[in-house]
């Protein structure tokens, strides 16, 4: 990942400079991909349908409907709202029913979350990679995998409460007052640990994603540099490597993203409709329920908006980060000359 280590006599970048380099990409990426994240979560949340006992909640991503049913699942009454038919349909319905601002629902906590998460993640990755290279050698292929896993675990643990809040704000339109009441009630009833609900499926999604992303990114970057006859990657090499490796990892880990969304939106459903019957919160139970209800394809709900989001997000994030580090390298080199 470090271009400073790929050629001779390259000036190193300090951890503080790595932190600063990661901030610009985090802010820019958040502004660009939040609408796609909203659409992805709405598509996943509309499958959050529970039909046990005397009632169930049907969510179309715009609002929740509590419907009364007879025992055995036969409906006594309900008017099924329209469903999103795809990515474009979801965009149009969200804009028509809630306004274009709704495409940036959850942006404030996204920005609050993105900057520290990115700083922790990228800086830890670079520092761990440098440490492992000094111990294992420059060409050890396991370095990106190990560094990516450890860095992501730390970032997920720190940011998980904000991720829960952001998902709630994107899965259903509600006020900050309702959000504050929801969080306060959960903390008073279940303790602060309740804010880490969804941590396990988030880890199951993000840690494999990180391992696959960094390994493929480093391999692609070296391959493209070799093909181009370069010691250091250019902006476009970083951009292309980030987009391709991010796309592959996004497809492979999408089922865990669907489960994470289901687990976190279930929590709001539980509270807002005061459903007393326990909902299946196990990751594997939710996966089985999704497959039983929607088929194997249900685990890949939101694939298109996730790919549209992840590919440019990874490309923008890594290329701006590397560009920022290259800028600081030049500054440091100039200082050393005087």
User: Token pair of 131, please?
Assistant: 């440490």
Q: Measuring CA to CA, how many Å separate 311 from each of 104, 134, 166, 169, 244?
A: 19, 31, 21, 24, 7
Q: Is residue 289 part of a domain?
A: yes
pLDDT attached to residue 121: 92
Q: Is residue 99 part of a domain?
A: no
Q: Phi/psi at 185 (nearest 5 deg)? A: -65, -45
Domain count, the chain: 1
Q: Is residue 92 part of a domain?
A: no
Higher pLDDT, 7 or 34: 34
Q: Is residue 237 part of a domain?
A: yes
What is the value of pTM for the model shown?
A: 0.67
Q: Is residue 290 part of a domain?
A: yes
Q: Measuring CA to CA, how many Å separate 261 from each of 136, 198, 213, 248?
A: 38, 8, 21, 20
Q: Report CA dihedral (190, 192, 198, 201) to the nearest 10 degrees.
A: -120
pLDDT attached to residue 56: 29
- H/E run at residue 321: helix 303-337
Give dist(CA 211, CA 201) in Å, integer. Answer: 16
Q: Is residue 312 part of a domain?
A: yes
Mean pLDDT, rounded, for 213-223: 95
Alpha helices in 172-190 (DSSP H): 176-190
- H/E run at residue 65: strand 64-69
Least confident among 103-107, 212-216, 269-273 = 269-273
Count Cβ atoms below 10 Å from residue 106 Cβ, excluding itself: 21
Kindly give, in sequence order, each residue whose CB lies less than 8 Å from that of residue 57, ignoring residues fewer than 6 positions away. 48, 49, 50, 64, 65, 66, 67, 269, 273, 275
Strand, coil or helix: 202: helix
pLDDT attached to residue 33: 78
Q: What is the span of the domain harbouring residue 265?
A: 218-327
User: Token pair of 116, please?
Assistant: 């520290």
pLDDT attached to residue 168: 65
Q: Is residue 234 part of a domain?
A: yes
User: Is residue 217 pLDDT above 70, yes or no?
Assistant: yes
CA 22 to centroid of chain Cα atoms: 16
Higher pLDDT, 271 or 196: 196
Q: Is residue 229 part of a domain?
A: yes
Q: Measuring CA to CA, how many Å separate 38 from each of 26, 205, 264, 306, 310?
A: 17, 18, 14, 10, 13
pLDDT attached to residue 75: 36
pLDDT attached to residue 328: 92
């Amino acid at each position: 990942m470090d271009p400073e280590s790929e050629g001779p006599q390259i000036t190193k970048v300090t951890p503080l400079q790595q932190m600063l380099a990661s901030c610009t990409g985090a802010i820019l990426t958040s502004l660009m991909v939040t609408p796609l994240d909203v659409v992805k979560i709405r598509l996943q949340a509309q499958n959050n349908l529970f039909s046990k006992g005397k009632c169930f909640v049907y969510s179309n991503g715009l609002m929740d409907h509590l419907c009364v049913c007879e025992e055995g699942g036969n409906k006594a009454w309900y008017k099924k709202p329209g469903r999103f038919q795809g990515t474009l349909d979801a965009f149009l319905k969200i804009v028509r029913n809630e306004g274009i601002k709704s495409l940036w629902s959850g942006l404030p906590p996204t920005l609050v979350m993105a900057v520290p998460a990115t700083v922790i993640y990228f800086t830890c990755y670079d520092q761990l990679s440098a440490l492992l290279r000094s111990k294992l050698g420059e060409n050890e292929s396991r370095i990106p995998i190990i560094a990516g896993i450890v860095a992501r675990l730390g970032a997920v643990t720190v940011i998980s409460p904000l991720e829960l809040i952001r998902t709630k704000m994107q899965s259903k339109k509600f006020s900050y007052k309702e959000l504050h009441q929801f969080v306060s009630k959960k903390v008073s009833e279940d303790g602060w640990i309740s804010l880490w609900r969804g941590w396990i499926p988030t880890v199951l999604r993000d840690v494999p994603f990180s391992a696959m992303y960094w390994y493929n990114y480093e391999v692609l970057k070296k391959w493209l540099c070799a093909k181009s006859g370069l010691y250091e990657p250019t902006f476009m090499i970083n951009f292309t490597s980030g987009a391709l490796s991010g796309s592959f990892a996004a497809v492979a880990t999408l089922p865990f993203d669907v489960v994470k969304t289901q687990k976190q939106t279930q929590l709001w459903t539980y509270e807002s409709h005061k459903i007393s019957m326990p909902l299946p919160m196990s990751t594997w139970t939710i996966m089985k329920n999704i497959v039983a209800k929607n088929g194997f394809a249900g685990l890949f709900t939101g694939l298109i908006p996730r790919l549209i989001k992840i590919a440019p997000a990874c490309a923008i994030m890594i290329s701006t980060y590397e560009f920022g580090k290259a800028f600081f390298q030049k500054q440091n080199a100039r200082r050393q000359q005087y």
